[in-house]
């Protein structure tokens, strides 16, 4: 679903700018695997390859470029498979690092589990 939303956002961004497609390559291998790529003269581009997944879905891997307000583009690489849509980009927020005391508590809990200690 997130992939569809991002594709729509990319399409809206693309529609707001006048651009000419300079590369459009699509391959359907007939066995559920496919690939496509395109690029426009304004710098937008996307490339995706897919194969059939174990649960009937298409497993995809690829990237797309998003225009930045400051100029230039940000690259978003992604995998979409049984685990869902998994984007990776410097644009995406990341969680704050855990404080050191949390790491220490996790080490203690791991040691206790290894020793067979359990809590109800």
Domain boundaries, the chain: 2-92
Q: Count other C-beta atoms under 10 Å from residue 48's C-beta.
A: 19
Helices (H), the chain: 2-16, 100-114
Residues present in the chain in total: 120
For the record, the structure tokens of 4 come out as: 């569809």
Rg (CA), the chain: 21
pLDDT of residue 12: 56
User: To which H or E segment does residue 104 belong?
Assistant: helix 100-114
For the record, the structure tokens of 120 come out as: 């109800």
Which position has the token pair 């497609």?
21
pLDDT of residue 71: 87
C-beta of residue 90 within 8 angstroms of C-beta of residue 77: no
Per-residue pLDDT of the chain (120 residues; tens, 9 = 90+): 555 565 655 565 555 567 889 999 999 999 999 999 999 988 889 999 999 988 888 999 999 998 888 888 999 999 999 989 999 998 888 888 889 999 999 999 999 999 999 887
Among 46, 44, 20, residue whose Cα is nearest residue 35: 46
């Amino acid at each position: 679903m997130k992939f569809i939303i991002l594709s729509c956002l990319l399409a809206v961004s693309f529609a707001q700018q006048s651009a000419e497609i300079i590369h459009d390559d699509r391959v359907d291998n007939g066995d559920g695997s496919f690939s496509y790529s395109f690029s426009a003269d304004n710098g937008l581009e996307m490339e995706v390859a897919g194969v059939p997944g174990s649960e009937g879905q298409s497993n995809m891997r690829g990237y797309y470029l998003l225009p930045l307000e400051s100029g230039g583009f940000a690259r978003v690489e992604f995998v979409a498979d049984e685990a869902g849509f998994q984007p990776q980009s410097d644009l995406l927020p990341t969680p704050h690092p855990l404080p050191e005391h949390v790491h220490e508590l996790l080490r203690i809990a791991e040691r206790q589990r290894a020793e067979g200690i359990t809590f109800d």
